[in-house]
A = this chain, B = another copy of it.
Amino acid sequence: SKVDFIQENAPEKIEIKTSLLAEIDAATRPDIVIASSSSGLPSSKFIGKCTNNPGRILIGHPFNPPHLMPLVEIVPNQKTEKSSVETAVQFYKSLNKRPVVLHQEVPGFAANRLQAALCSEAYSLVSRGIISAEDLDACVTNSLGPRWALTGPLLANAMGGGGGTDGFRHLLEHLGPATEVWLKDMQDHAFEFNKESLDALSTSVGEELKGKDVQSLEAERDRLLVEILKLKNS
């Protein structure tokens, strides 16, 4: 009864979450918001056995590494009350997180869909032998990553178009035809999760990893991540 907000982080299995959520829902005051962490599974898939108050259940999805990354995705299901969404937004803000709200359930939510879109093309380019894993990663860390650390893709488009809504629209109308050619070619060569593609991809990643210690790379990444987030808040 002293609980004010519940963050559930069980494994992403429908059966586990279904029985766990039923238990939490039954055992807690109906006004307490229950945020379920899931990296893509919408909550409507696992609230079927909640009979106390399923309207206070939503997705609250932090992003790796969660103790550093500001983003939390809030995804209500069709039964979620608006007040529960608002409570979750305020809760995450109070932890200095940056909550974003999705207005409809979609598999993968927003950030992981965006990530999957980019990664899928990365896997394709490397498995086809067009670019090495090391150079592919360098592409991202030396252009898109630093850009997107500071400016989201839509604001970047508006900037590229010279500013304003008209600038954004002008840029899209101008780039659209070329982009459609690229997207069509990407779709024609979409990565498939089969043994042959995975072999080619893993071999190139293996070459990139040669001589690198992933644990120390991770520590260095976290150190620099803190510095970048400090810079942005300065």
Q: Which residues of A are at the interface with B, using a C-beta cutoff of 8 A? A: 39-40, 63-64, 69-71, 73, 98, 100-104, 106-108, 110-123, 125-126, 128-131, 133, 135-155, 157-160, 162-165, 167-169, 172-173, 176-183, 185-187, 190, 193, 198, 201-203, 205-206, 208-209, 214-215, 217-218, 221, 224-225, 227-229, 231-232
Contact = CB atoms under 8 A, between A and B. Distances in A.
B142 A98 contact: yes
Contacts of A205: 154-155, 157-158, 165, 168
16 contacts: A64-B147, A70-B142, A71-B138, A104-B128, A108-B179, A111-B139, A114-B139, A122-B153, A137-B154, A145-B150, A146-B149, A148-B149, A151-B217, A165-B205, A167-B214, A169-B202
Contacts of A108: 178-179, 181-182, 185-186
Nearest to A122: B153
Given A113-B186, A126-B154, A141 B131 contact: no
Contacts of A115: 144, 153
B165 A206 contact: yes
Contacts of A229: 146
Contact of A118 (B118, B143, B209): B118
Contacts of A232: 141, 224
A188 to B, nearest CB: 11
Contact of A183 (B106, B116, B183, B218): B116
B71 A142 contact: yes
Given A107-B182, A110-B135, 5 more contacts: A107-B185, A162-B214, A172-B202, A183-B190, A227-B231
Contacts of A190: 183
A29 B13 CA distance: 65
B168 A140 contact: no
